[in-house]
Amino acid sequence: MAVRPILTAPDPRLKAVSALVEKVDVKIRKLAEDMADSMYAADGIGLAAVQVGVAKRIIVMDLNQKEGDQKTGKKNWRVFINPKILWASEEKAVYEEGCLSVPEIYDDVERPARIKAEYLDLDGKRVEIEADGMLATCLQHEMDHLEGILFIDHLSRLKRAMLLKKLTKAKKLATA
């Protein structure tokens, strides 16, 4: 188990556009495991590799992590490698989002309500899914990370500037 530190805004590394994974090999599997450990340690439901400073197109997710498997304690995380949106609905949905890289800030974001996407699993096999609800929201939030976009980039310029000021101040206080 290896928990890696999670970068927080306004760290410029979070703005990187992540590179395609060329081959799903042992190194990628180890990175995905570390990402899952880091996500659970931070009480998150998703994480993109760029958030632990590795700009590769890899996402881990466990939407049931708060409950877990009560009997076995088994974690059911899934991994999305090189994810691509194939279709997005005209219909929109609004969810309150949070981000481990934007600590203690939550706000409503509007996104397509339903999507179809493809990705590679940990065996390098191509998978297609249809998603709605929290899965659609979380997948789009994490895929934004792969383009260097944070959920606060969907808010008004004024709100984003205020939040970034607050985050910078909190970071300064934490290191003082």
Q: What six digits make up the tokens of 31?
A: 């990175």
Tell me the backbone φ, ψ of residue 80, rounded to 5 degrees: -125, 115
Q: Hey, which residues between 79 and 98 contact ligand K1U (CB under 6 A)? A: 95-98
Nearer to ligand K1U, 22 or 96 (CB): 96
Query: From the CB of 93, what's the least distance to ligand K1U, in Å?
Result: 11
The answer to whether residue 58 forms part of the interface with Zn ion (CB under 5 A) is no
d(CA 105, CA 22): 35
Name the segment binding Zn ion (CB under 5 A); options: 24-32, 64-72, 98-106, 127-135. 98-106
The answer to whether residue 155 forms part of the interface with Zn ion (CB under 5 A) is no
Residues 79 and 56: beta-carbon distance below 8 Å: no
The answer to whether residue 100 forms part of the interface with ligand K1U (CB under 6 A) is yes
Rg for the chain, CA atoms, rounded: 16
Residues 75 and 63: beta-carbon distance below 8 Å: no
Question: Of 67, 96, 110, 142, which one is the catalytic site residue?
Answer: 142
Is 96 known to be catalytic?
no
d(CA 96, CA 105): 10
Please give the residue ranges that form the binding site for ligand K1U (CB under 6 A): 43-47, 51, 95-101, 106, 137-138, 141-142
